[in-house]
Chains A and B, each alone.
Chain A
Amino acid sequence: DAGVIQSPRHEVTEMGQEVTLRCKLISGHNSLFWYRQTMMRGLELLIYFNNNVPIDDSGMPEDRFSAKMPNASFSTLKIQPSEPRDSAVYFCASSLRRGPHPEAFFGQGTRLTVV
């Protein structure tokens, strides 16, 4: 398995534009996490899905952010409209919910810069 795959690796966009980040889960995993990492706030959990269902979205900053899982192996995080304060590294991670290996496997992250 190629691991968790995120795209794009880097994104530079202008304030007000729509941004879509993509994530492909490891085959067979049923949990999906989206995180945002900044120097000031560290690693923040944005949203957590289990079996394609959002379980906890309390970390989503505001209505400008939305996340979906159209199928069991793929997820998107959309920011519309984007603002400079959204600049951060965004990670997705997948895992099994239970069992001997419940640890999350991370993608390499998307560095988002909003100018």
Chain B
Amino acid sequence: GAVVSQHPSRVICKSGTSVKIECRSLDFQATTMFWYRQFPKQSLMLMATSNEGSKATYEQGVEKDKFLINHASLTLSTLTVTSAHPEDSSFYICSAGDGANPEQYFGPGTRLTVT
């Protein structure tokens, strides 16, 4: 299947700082990318959907000013957690699709720990 990468795989940051997570589609053009958050032993919670070149659509309850999403190209989307706090600690996973096919591929995830 197609490959989606995320960077970094793990990050530890201090409370109040911002962290950027990158999601790349390596072998296809991702017209749509999705950002999820997963708490331990729980399912995935969709945070936002982004289409290349347009503003992201956020799910209810997700603060768009705190979780900044940029999808500037067909192979890259970034999620920036601004002014991170310990409650933002979580596993963040992106996924991507090309819009023409039903497959949606996931990245390996980024473990964020805010101290």
Question: Does B bind A?
Answer: no
